Every structure is written in structure tokens, then in C-alpha cells.
């Protein structure tokens, strides 16, 4: 396994980021991301930590939105409790899906592979310019249509 500038195995940073995402530690995961980008300057580990941070941000946003909806509907006597229950069930399903992505991310980075979180892998790749641009060429360079 490859070691970074400080003698720490680079996969450790990625695993730590996914563990912090699992624990809901937004500030610590953000600080780890800043450290990895600024100090280690390794694209692979930065991309993995970024994916974990994006998962954590999504989890926080979903929690906040569902919490706001739940508090709004809690004022309605009977219908509010039904809607709040539905919101809690949906939030639980989404949280379970995020947990699965976090565990798969941990397993993949332990093996030295990309975490490959579905949407966030592409987003992290775009942040580092790793997405290849498609260049279209003119099939008939001598034919100019004006």
C-alpha cells in the first residue's frame, strides 16, 4: 500500500472519511478533506475523501429537510402523525441506502480501489478534471459548409 508524505497509508484517510461520514461528523470530515487536499496532495485519496464528504453532506441535507417537514406537519392533530410516520419511514430507507454506500466505500478503499459511490464519484472526478472530454472532429475537413 502506498504511503503519503507523513508516513500514513493513504487508504487510511479514505477509510477514516467514510467512518466519519457514518458517524455524522461533518466538521471532522470536512477538516480531513482540507488536510488531504492541502497536505497530502494525492488525487486518489482526495477523490475518495471527497466522495465520503459528499455522502455526509447529502445525509445532513436530507435529515434537515425531513426534520423541517416533520415539524411543520406535527401541528396537524391526526393527519400530522400519519405524515410524520411516512416521512420517518422514507428517511429511514434513504439512511439505510446511504449506510450501504458508506460500507461499500470502506470495503473498496480498503482494497485500494475507487469507492465508486454512484453520483459522487463523477462529481469528485469533475472536481479534479479527471473526466475525459470528448473531441469531435470534422469527418470532411475539405468540405466547408457555409
Q: Give 18-58 pLDDT, tens digit per residue.
A: 999 999 999 999 999 999 988 888 888 999 999 999 999 99
Helices (H) and strands (E) in the chain, counts: 5, 0
According to the model, what pLDDT value does residue 114 have?
A: 86
What confidence tens digit (pLDDT) does each residue in 93-127 have? 998 999 999 999 999 998 888 888 888 888 888 88
pLDDT of residue 2: 82
Longest dimension (CA), the chain: 75
Task: Say what the pLDDT of residue 80 is.
Answer: 80
> In the structure, what pLDDT confidence band is assigned to residue 9 with cuts at 50, 70 and 90?
confident
pLDDT at res. 72: 78
User: Which residue in the block uniquely carries the three cell numbers 393527519?
Assistant: 79
Report the candidate in 126, 130, 129, 117 with the shortest Cα–Cα distance to residue 51. Answer: 117
Amino acid at each position: 500500500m502506498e504511503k503519503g508524505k507523513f508516513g500514513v497509508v493513504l487508504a487510511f484517510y479514505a477509510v477514516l472519511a467514510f467512518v466519519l461520514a457514518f458517524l455524522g461528523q461533518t466538521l471532522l470530515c470536512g477538516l480531513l478533506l482540507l488536510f488531504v487536499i492541502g497536505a497530502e496532495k494525492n488525487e486518489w485519496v482526495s477523490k475518495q475523501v471527497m466522495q465520503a464528504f459528499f455522502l455526509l453532506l447529502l445525509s445532513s441535507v436530507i435529515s434537515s429537510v425531513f426534520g423541517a417537514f416533520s415539524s411543520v406537519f406535527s401541528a396537524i392533530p391526526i393527519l400530522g402523525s400519519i405524515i410524520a410516520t411516512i416521512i420517518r419511514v422514507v428517511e429511514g430507507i434513504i439512511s439505510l441506502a446511504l449506510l450501504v454506500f458508506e460500507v461499500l466505500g470502506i470495503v473498496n478503499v480498503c482494497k485500494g480501489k475507487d469507492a465508486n459511490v454512484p453520483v459522487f464519484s463523477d462529481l469528485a472526478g469533475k472536481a479534479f478534471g479527471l473526466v475525459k472530454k470528448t473531441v469531435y472532429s470534422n469527418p470532411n475537413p475539405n468540405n466547408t459548409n457555409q
